[in-house]
Chains A and B, each alone.
Chain A
Amino acid sequence: MTATAPKRESFDVRILRQSGPGEESRWETFRIPYEPNLNVISVLQKIAATARTAEGTATTPVAWDCNCLEEVCGACTMVINGRVRQSCSALVDKLLAESPGEIELQPMSKFPVVRDLVVDRSRMFRALERVQAWVPVDDYYDRGGGPNVPQELQEQRYPLSECMTCGCCVEACPQYGKVEVHRRPNESQESYEQRQAEAEEGQFLGAAAISQTMLFNDHATGGMIAAERLDALTASGGIQECGNAQNCVAVCPKEIPLTTSIARAGRKTTWHMIKKWFDR
Chain B
Amino acid sequence: MAEQRVLVVGGGLAGLAAAMKLAELDVAVDLMSLVPVKRSHSACAQGGINSVNDTTRQQGDSEYHHFDDTVYGGDFLQHQPPVKEMTDWAPRIIDLMDRLGVPFNRTKEGFRDQRRFGGTLYKRTAFAGATTGQQLLYALDEQVRRCHANGKVNTFEGWDFLGPIIDDDGRCRGATAQNLVTMEIRAFPADAVVLATGGCGLIFGRSTMSMACTGSAASRSVQYGAHYANGEFIQVHPTAIPGADKLRLMSESARGEGGRVWVPRRPQDSRAPRDIPEEERYYFLEERYPKYGNLVPRDIATREIFNVCVNEGLSVEADKQCVYLDLTHISREELDRKLGGILHIYEKFQGVDPRIEPMKIFPAVHYSMGGMWADYERTAEGGLAPDAPRNHQTNIPGLYAIGECDYQYHGANRLGANSLLSCIFTGLFVGPCIQSSIESLGESASDAKFDLLLRAERSRKEMEHKQLLERPAGGENPYLIHQELGQEMTKAATVVRRNDQLTAALDKVSELHERARNCSLSDTGMWTNQNVMFTKNLLDMFPLAKALLKGALARDECRGAHYKPDFDMPGVESQDPGERRRQAEMWCDKFEEKNRKWLKTTVASFDAHGEPTLSYEDVDTSLIPPRPRLYGIVGGDIIEQVWKERSISQSDPTKPAEQSGNGAAETSRSPVPATS
Give the B-binding residues of A (Cβ under 8 A): 1-2, 19-20, 35, 37-39, 41-42, 45, 48-49, 51, 58-61, 63-75, 88-89, 91, 93-94, 114-116, 118, 121-122, 125, 128-129, 132-137, 139-140, 142-146, 148-151, 154, 157-158, 161-162, 164-165, 183, 189-190, 215-216, 219, 221-222
The residue of chain A having its C-beta at the shortest distance from the C-beta of B43 within the complex is A72
The residue of chain A having its C-beta at the shortest distance from the C-beta of B21 within the complex is A140
Bound complex: CA A69 to CA B351 (Å): 15
Bound complex: CA A94 to CA B156 (Å): 38
In the bound complex, do residue A151 and residue B108 qualify as a contact, i.e. CB atoms below 8 Å apart?
A: yes
Residues of A within 8 A of B603 (CB): none
Bound complex: CA A149 to CA B534 (Å): 45
Residues of A within 8 A of B102 (CB): 161
**B153 interface residue per 8 A CB criterion:** no
Residues of B within 8 A of A129 (CB): 145, 148-149
Residues of B within 8 A of A162 (CB): 129, 131, 134
Residues of A within 8 A of B312 (CB): none
Pick the contact of B244: A35, A140, A158, A164 (CB < 8 A): A35
Bound complex: CA A51 to CA B523 (Å): 9
Task: Report B181-216 CB contacts with A as 1/0, cut-off 8 Å.
Answer: 110000000000000000000000000001110000
In the complex, number of A-B residue pairs with CB atoms less than 8 Å apart? 211
Pick the contact of A67: B41, B112, B179 (CB < 8 A): B41
Pick the contact of A37: B249, B350, B530 (CB < 8 A): B350
Q: In this complex, which of B99, B112, B128, B134 has the most chain A Cβ atoms within 10 angstroms of its Cβ?
A: B99
In the bound complex, do residue A94 and residue B109 qualify as a contact, i.e. CB atoms below 8 Å apart?
A: no
Size of B's binding interface in residues, CB under 8 A? 77
In the bound complex, do residue A133 and residue B142 qualify as a contact, i.e. CB atoms below 8 Å apart?
A: yes
Known: A48-B530, A69-B243, A140-B24. 6 other contacts (CB 8 A): A60-B522, A134-B142, A143-B99, A146-B95, A150-B110, A183-B182
Residues of B within 8 A of A114 (CB): 181, 528
**B333 interface residue per 8 A CB criterion:** no
**B419 interface residue per 8 A CB criterion:** no
In the bound complex, do residue B99 and residue A145 qualify as a contact, i.e. CB atoms below 8 Å apart?
A: yes
In the bound complex, do residue A219 and residue B101 qualify as a contact, i.e. CB atoms below 8 Å apart?
A: yes
Task: Report B289-332 CB contacts with A as 1/0, cut-off 8 Å.
Answer: 00000000000000000000000000000000000000000000
Which residues of B (91-109) have their CB < 8 Å from a CB of A?
A: 92, 94-96, 98-109
Also in contact, A48 and B479, with CB within 8 A (given A140-B20, A140-B428, A154-B105): yes
**B510 interface residue per 8 A CB criterion:** no
In the bound complex, do residue A146 and residue B99 qualify as a contact, i.e. CB atoms below 8 Å apart?
A: yes
In the bound complex, do residue B44 and residue A72 qualify as a contact, i.e. CB atoms below 8 Å apart?
A: yes
In the bound complex, do residue A148 and residue B101 qualify as a contact, i.e. CB atoms below 8 Å apart?
A: no
Pick the contact of B528: A59, A115, A146, A222 (CB < 8 A): A115
In the bound complex, do residue B156 and residue A189 qualify as a contact, i.e. CB atoms below 8 Å apart?
A: yes
Bound complex: CA A69 to CA B527 (Å): 24
**B662 interface residue per 8 A CB criterion:** no
Residues of B within 8 A of A64 (CB): 530
In the bound complex, do residue B522 and residue A145 qualify as a contact, i.e. CB atoms below 8 Å apart?
A: no
Which residues of B (320-353) have their CB < 8 Å from a CB of A?
A: 345, 348-352
Bound complex: CA A39 to CA B246 (Å): 10
Bound complex: CA A125 to CA B149 (Å): 11
In the bound complex, do residue A125 and residue B211 qualify as a contact, i.e. CB atoms below 8 Å apart?
A: no
Q: Identify 23 residue pairs between A and B in the complex whose beta-carbon atoms are under 8 Å apart, listed by A's number.
A: A20-B527, A45-B244, A60-B525, A60-B531, A61-B531, A64-B530, A69-B243, A69-B246, A69-B248, A70-B349, A73-B41, A88-B246, A114-B181, A125-B38, A128-B142, A135-B99, A135-B101, A142-B95, A148-B111, A149-B103, A154-B105, A162-B131, A164-B134
Residues of A within 8 A of B107 (CB): 151
Query: Smallest distance from the beta carbon of A212 to chain B beta carbons, Å?
Result: 9
Interface of A is mostly: loop
Bound complex: CA A162 to CA B138 (Å): 9
In the bound complex, do residue A149 and residue B210 qualify as a contact, i.e. CB atoms below 8 Å apart?
A: no
Residues of A within 8 A of B248 (CB): 69-70
Query: Smallest distance from the beta carbon of A205 to chain B beta carbons, Å?
Result: 15
Bound complex: CA A48 to CA B103 (Å): 39
**B168 interface residue per 8 A CB criterion:** no
Residues of A within 8 A of B665 (CB): none
Query: Smallest distance from the beta carbon of B308 to chain A beta carbons, Å?
Result: 22
Which residues of B (510-553) have their CB < 8 Å from a CB of A?
A: 522-523, 525, 527-528, 530-531, 534
Bound complex: CA A64 to CA B357 (Å): 33
Also in contact, A71 and B348, with CB within 8 A (given A20-B528, A39-B244, A128-B145): yes
Pick the contact of A154: B35, B106, B211, B523 (CB < 8 A): B106
Query: Smallest distance from the beta carbon of B316 to chain A beta carbons, Å?
Result: 13
Residues of A within 8 A of B531 (CB): 48, 51, 60-61
Q: In this complex, which of B41, B106, B154 has the most chain A Cβ atoms within 10 angstroms of its Cβ?
A: B106
Which residues of B (127-155) have their CB < 8 Å from a CB of A?
A: 128-129, 131, 134-135, 138-139, 142-143, 145-146, 148-149, 154
Also in contact, A222 and B244, with CB within 8 A (given A140-B24, A149-B110): no
In the bound complex, do residue B530 and residue A134 qualify as a contact, i.e. CB atoms below 8 Å apart?
A: no
Also in contact, A150 and B94, with CB within 8 A (given A60-B525, A67-B35, A72-B44): no
Bound complex: CA A133 to CA B350 (Å): 35
Pick the contact of A164: B38, B92, B212, B534 (CB < 8 A): B38
**B652 interface residue per 8 A CB criterion:** no
Bound complex: CA A151 to CA B582 (Å): 57
In the bound complex, do residue A149 and residue B106 qualify as a contact, i.e. CB atoms below 8 Å apart?
A: yes
Also in contact, A63 and B94, with CB within 8 A (given A68-B41, A148-B109): no
Also in contact, A133 and B108, with CB within 8 A (given A68-B39, A73-B210): no
Residues of B within 8 A of A75 (CB): 35-36, 39
In the bound complex, do residue A133 and residue B96 qualify as a contact, i.e. CB atoms below 8 Å apart?
A: no
Residues of A within 8 A of B348 (CB): 71, 89
Residues of B within 8 A of A39 (CB): 243-245, 349
The list of the 6 closest CB pairs from A to B, nearest first, reads A148-B110, A49-B479, A134-B142, A146-B98, A51-B522, A42-B244
The residue of chain B having its C-beta at the shortest distance from the C-beta of A162 within the complex is B131
Residues of B within 8 A of A165 (CB): 36, 38
Residues of B within 8 A of A215 (CB): 101
Bound complex: CA A49 to CA B476 (Å): 11
Residues of A within 8 A of B530 (CB): 48, 61, 63-64
**B499 interface residue per 8 A CB criterion:** no
The residue of chain B having its C-beta at the shortest distance from the C-beta of A72 within the complex is B43
Residues of A within 8 A of B477 (CB): 49
Task: Report B169-187 CB contacts with A as 1/0, cut-off 8 Å.
Answer: 0000000000101100000
In the bound complex, do residue B36 and residue A125 qualify as a contact, i.e. CB atoms below 8 Å apart?
A: yes
Bound complex: CA A83 to CA B390 (Å): 52
Residues of A within 8 A of B212 (CB): 67
Residues of B within 8 A of A2 (CB): 351-352
The residue of chain A having its C-beta at the shortest distance from the C-beta of B206 within the complex is A69
